[in-house]
Amino acid sequence: MVEESLCFRAATVADAAVLGRLNHLLIRDEGHRNPMGVDELVERMRRWLADEGYEALLGFDGDDLVAYVLWRDEPDCVYLRQIFVQREHRRQGVARHLMLSVFERWPDKRLTVDVLAGNARALAFWRRMGYRDYAVLLERLPLSDDEG
C-alpha cells in the first residue's frame, strides 16, 4: 500500500469496539504490562471517546481499517495516547502519513507522547517525526518471591 491511498475519518463512539480490539493488539505488540482484556479495552475506549475528551483519527486503505491515532487536546499540549498500524501495513509510511495529518491540526501547539523505553522502533519513529526527549520515567519494581 502506498500512503497516497490512505483515507482518514474521525472516530465516533460507535468505533469503540474496533478501537478496543486494535488497542489490545497494540498492548501485545509493544510489550505493555496492561492486563486488560478486549472487553475492558472496548469499554475504556467508549468512555474515553464519549466522556473524557479523547478523539481518534482512523486510517483506511479502501474499506480496511489499517491504523488509528488517539489523542486528547489539553490546555498546554495535545497528548497523543496511542498510535497503531496493523502489522501487515507497517514500514510503509502509514504512521508517518497519519501523524502528518495530526500535525496539520495543531501547527502551533506542543504535542506530547509517552513511549515505552524498550520500544526502540517507536522511539526512533518519534524522533524522526521531530520529537525530542524531555523526561525519563524510572521505576523500581518490587522483588518477586523467587528473587528474594
pLDDT digits (tens, 9 = 90+) for 76-120: 999 999 999 999 999 999 999 999 999 999 999 999 999 988 889
**Is residue 70 very low, low, confident or very high in pLDDT (cuts 50, 70, 90)?**
very high
List of E strands, the chain? 6-10, 54-61, 64-73, 78-85, 111-113
Cα–Cα distance, 129 to 135 (Å, whole number): 17
**pLDDT, position 36:** 80
Pairing of strands 6-10, 54-61: antiparallel
What is the average pLDDT score of the chain? 90
**pLDDT, position 118:** 86
Written as nine digits, the cell of 13 is 463512539
Residue 1 has pLDDT above 50, yes or no: no
Average pLDDT on 46-56 reads 95
Instruction: Encode burial over 110-124: b for 16+ CB neighbours within 10 A, e otherwise.
Output: ebebebeeeeeebee
